[in-house]
């Protein structure tokens, strides 16, 4: 069972760690994706704003549709048919930033002659002007698709405008690839914050964050939303390049930090973690309770077995004694001797009282267990009951050459209780003090008052008991071990009986003991002044 429980807990721990690790990786991936998109959108917006500004400046008086030109910068080839020819146009910007325009004409000859393919790279206006009129007509249609509406004889002017547009685009590209303005002037922190919130929200991340723009070569912060969070932001693992397509200029980083990242990740698995912990605790509680019950039942079984053995021994001795006395009385010689007859009858009477007392103890505990014990509660004099107990026990003490001292210091000593049961409790405690004293018993009975409470202590100088014994001494059937010696008689019911009776009197009983130094039983009972 222990191995199974430990294995289950280990598996749960591994699984929870895996979930935490997975959530952490997913969170990092989502944040980095959001940063990449923010950087991409910033660069795209800067490019569009820059191009729009430049084109507006250079084309104030131009009839050319700027938007149409921009849309066709990287368009697919356009194909136009006419006059038995197929003409393909291609405009593009090569890797060196040069604007290129070319035409490819495919003419179908008569018969089975192959198709003739002619390339016309656009290098000068004169070449186009000298083309076949049909080709010029097709080129006119191409200009119309660009939004350029010119008479057929103004192709030279159109080609010059296209050439000028090519030069302008090259200038724009060069300026965008080699920005001359400082990074701080290229950034709008309000726009940056808005983009961050939007992209994080797309990934369902609604956490407070701190961000900054940092130039790693100079070690300079270009912008930060919260200067107090500078140290945490600079240590963050979430960073990406801003304007990564700049050819020149110092590189810059966009940094972002989430102060409550750990709390956020824990909240993500809070339900899983709490339910798993609850189930594990429930299993541990059930396991612990099962082990406790098993051990307790085992101990009870051992104590009951010990109780039965002791009870058999305790009953067997007086029964055997009574049997021997009866056999002696049946002898004619003894029966005729009055002195011998009275002696054996006295033995039978004493053993009968002993049996009755033992049976009474067992029956009393059974009544207490069934809550059927009837108490005759009256105002009783504890000092008087102590003297009665001492009188009854004095013969045993004298037989062992012991001493019993009284220190009855209490000024008030009346309580609400049952006189017979109170006497039984004191006799049990005194009997234990005598039985567990190896040498001559030395017992002190002391009373005193403490805040309307009568404190009664019975102290001996016997063998004492261990801490474990002190924890179990008031359990039914429990008896303190005396090693290999079995000279201490009893059922293990006396102290359990004492605790139950004192409890019914609304008092408490405690024990203080050290091995080989003796034991002190302390009874505390509420005083009554009736």
In this structure, the answer to whether residues 252 and 275 fall within a common structural domain is: no
In this structure, the answer to whether residues 47 and 186 fall within a common structural domain is: yes
In this structure, the answer to whether residues 249 and 324 fall within a common structural domain is: no
Q: What does the pLDDT look like over 228-264, one tens digit per residue?
A: 888 888 888 898 888 777 665 667 888 999 988 888 8
Domain boundary among 268, 286, 312: 268
Residue 161: inside a domain, yes or no?
A: no
Residue 223: inside a domain, yes or no?
A: yes
Token pair recorded at residue 159: 């080609």
Which structural domain, as residue segments, surrounds residue 281?
270-365
In this structure, the answer to whether residues 405 and 520 fall within a common structural domain is: yes
Q: What does the pLDDT look like over 498-509, one tens digit per residue?
A: 888 898 899 999
In this structure, the answer to whether residues 261 and 275 fall within a common structural domain is: no
- What pTM does this model have? 0.45
**For residue 121, what is the enclosing H or E element?**
strand 116-121
Residue 37: inside a domain, yes or no?
A: yes
Number of independent structural domains in the chain: 4
Mean pLDDT of the chain: 75
CATH number at residue 118: 3.10.450
State how beta strands 442-449 and 403-408 pair.
parallel
**For residue 335, what is the enclosing H or E element?**
helix 332-336
Residue 171: inside a domain, yes or no?
A: no
In this structure, the answer to whether residues 29 and 139 fall within a common structural domain is: no
Token pair recorded at residue 394: 């004095």
Number of Cβ within a 10 Å radius of residue 267: 11
∠ CA(56), CA(59), CA(61), 5° rounding? 120
Residue 170: inside a domain, yes or no?
A: no
Burial class (CB in 10 A: 0-12, 13-18, 19+), 521: buried
In this structure, the answer to whether residues 378 and 324 fall within a common structural domain is: no
Residue 210: inside a domain, yes or no?
A: yes
Domain boundary among 345, 365, 385: 365
In this structure, the answer to whether residues 514 and 381 fall within a common structural domain is: yes
Residue 65: inside a domain, yes or no?
A: no
Instruction: Check residue 217 and report its DSSP letter.
Output: T
**For residue 446, what is the enclosing H or E element?**
strand 442-449
Q: What does the pLDDT look like over 112-150, one tens digit per residue?
A: 444 444 444 444 444 444 455 555 565 566 555 555 444
In this structure, the answer to whether residues 408 and 522 fall within a common structural domain is: yes
In this structure, the answer to whether residues 194 and 255 fall within a common structural domain is: yes
Token pair recorded at residue 390: 């001492």
Burial class (CB in 10 A: 0-12, 13-18, 19+), 252: buried
Whether the pLDDT of residue 523 is over 90: the answer is yes
In this structure, the answer to whether residues 37 and 134 fall within a common structural domain is: no
Q: What does the pLDDT look like over 6-19, one tens digit per residue?
A: 888 888 888 888 88
In this structure, the answer to whether residues 510 and 395 fall within a common structural domain is: yes
């Amino acid at each position: 069972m222990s191995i199974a429980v430990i294995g289950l807990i280990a598996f749960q721990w591994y699984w929870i760690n895996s979930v935490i690790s997975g959530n952490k990786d997913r969170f990092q991936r989502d944040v980095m994706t959001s940063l990449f998109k923010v950087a991409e959108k910033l660069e795209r917006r800067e490019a569009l704003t820059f191009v729009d500004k430049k084109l507006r400046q250079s084309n104030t008086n131009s009839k050319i549709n700027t938007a149409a030109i921009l849309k066709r910068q990287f368009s697919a080839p356009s194909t136009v048919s006419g006059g038995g020819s197929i003409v393909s146009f291609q405009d593009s910007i090569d890797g060196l930033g040069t604007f290129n325009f070319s035409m490819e004409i495919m003419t179908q000859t008569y018969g089975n002659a192959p198709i003739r393919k002619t390339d016309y790279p656009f290098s000068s206006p004169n070449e186009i002007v000298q083309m076949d009129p049909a080709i010029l007509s097709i080129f006119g249609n191409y200009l119309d698709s660009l939004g350029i509406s010119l008479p057929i004889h103004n192709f030279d002017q159109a080609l010059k405008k296209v050439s000028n547009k090519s030069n302008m685009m090259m200038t724009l590209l060069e300026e965008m690839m080699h920005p001359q303005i400082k990074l701080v002037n290229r950034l709008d922190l309000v726009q940056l914050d808005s983009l961050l919130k939007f992209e994080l929200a797309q990934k369902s991340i609604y956490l407070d964050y701190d961000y900054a723009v940092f130039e790693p070569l100079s070690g300079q912060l270009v912008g930060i939303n919260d200067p107090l969070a500078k140290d945490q932001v600079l240590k963050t693992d979430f960073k990406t390049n801003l304007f990564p397509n700049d050819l020149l200029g110092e590189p810059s980083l966009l940094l972002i930090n989430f102060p409550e990242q750990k709390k956020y990740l824990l909240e993500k698995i809070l339900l899983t973690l709490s339910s798993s912990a609850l189930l594990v605790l429930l299993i541990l509680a059930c396991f612990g309770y099962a082990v406790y019950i098993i051990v307790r039942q085992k101990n009870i079984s051992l104590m009951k077995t010990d109780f039965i053995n002791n009870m058999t021994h305790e009953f067997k001795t007086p029964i055997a004694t009574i049997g021997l006395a009866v056999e002696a009385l049946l002898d004619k010689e003894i029966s005729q001797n009055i002195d011998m007859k009275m002696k054996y009858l006295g033995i039978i009477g004493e053993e009968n009282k002993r049996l009755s007392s033992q049976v009474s103890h067992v029956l009393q505990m059974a009544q207490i267990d069934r809550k059927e014990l009837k108490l005759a509660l009256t105002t009783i004099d504890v000092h008087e009951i102590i003297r009665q107990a001492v009188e009854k026990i004095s013969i045993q003490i004298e037989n062992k050459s012991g001493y019993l001292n009284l220190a009855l210091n209490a000024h008030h000593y009346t309580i609400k209780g049952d006189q017979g049961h109170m006497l039984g409790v004191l006799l049990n405690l005194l009997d234990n003090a005598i039985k567990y004293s190896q040498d001559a018993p030395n017992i002190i009975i002391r009373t005193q008052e403490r805040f309307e409470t009568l404190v009664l202590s019975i102290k001996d100088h016997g063998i004492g008991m261990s801490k474990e014994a002190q924890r179990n001494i008031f359990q039914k059937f429990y008896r303190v071990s005396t090693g290999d010696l079995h000279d201490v008689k009893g059922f293990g019911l006396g102290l359990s009986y004492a605790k139950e009776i004192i409890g019914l009197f609304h008092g408490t009983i405690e024990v203080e003991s050290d091995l080989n130094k003796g034991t002190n039983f302390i009874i505390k009972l509420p005083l009554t002044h009736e």
